[in-house]
Amino acid sequence: MNFNERIESLFEEYQRQRNSLTEMQQRMKELSATATSPRREVSVTVGQNGVLTDVKFPSGAHKRLTPADLTDLIMATYAEAKESVMAQAATVLAPMLPDGMDANALVRGTAGTDAYLPAEPRMATSVREILGMGRAAQ
């Protein structure tokens, strides 16, 4: 493959990755999860990044709770919904990540520095070859 063909191939790969990223962003925007407390006192819905989007009281059961108990129940149900949407986000993100990156840690903000900027830069084999780096480990 000559230099021009390689550049064209790299550009095509860039376009594929860009299109995949656009699709992933759309899927991330649409993420939503709803959790309902065990006795149906409260139902909580969250969107992307666990942002609270709705709270409902599907039955009158919440009226029997003290304000403190209702607060605790809402917070626990919110945590359940948030965990669900974070798991969805990790599932959407995972195919876009290089091998070895933990999508769950990334969406939860617990990934270390190496997850974002590893000591050895990640690059496509074709770029390594152009730079004369051979097939060094990524």
Residue 57, φ and ψ in degrees, nearest 5: -120, 90
pLDDT of 109: 84
- DSSP symbols for the chain: --HHHHHHHHHHHHHHHHHHHHHHHHHHHT-EEEEE-TTSS-EEEEEGGG-EEEEE--SGGGGGS-HHHHHHHHHHHHHHHHHHHHHHHHHHHGGGSPTT--HHHHHHT---HHHHS-SS----HHHHHHTT-TT---
pTM of the model: 0.72
Per-residue pLDDT, 96: 84
Q: Which pLDDT belongs to residue 137?
A: 47
pLDDT at residue 121, rounded to an integer: 67
Contact 31/92 with Cβ under 8 angstroms?
Answer: yes
- CB 44 within 8 Å of CB 98: no
pLDDT tens for the chain, residues 1 to 138? 788 888 888 889 889 888 988 898 999 999 999 999 999 999 999 998 889 999 999 998 999 999 999 999 999 999 999 999 999 999 999 988 877 788 998 888 888 777 667 666 667 677 777 777 655 444
The pLDDT score that the predictor gives to residue 49 is 84
Predicted local confidence at residue 97, as pLDDT: 84
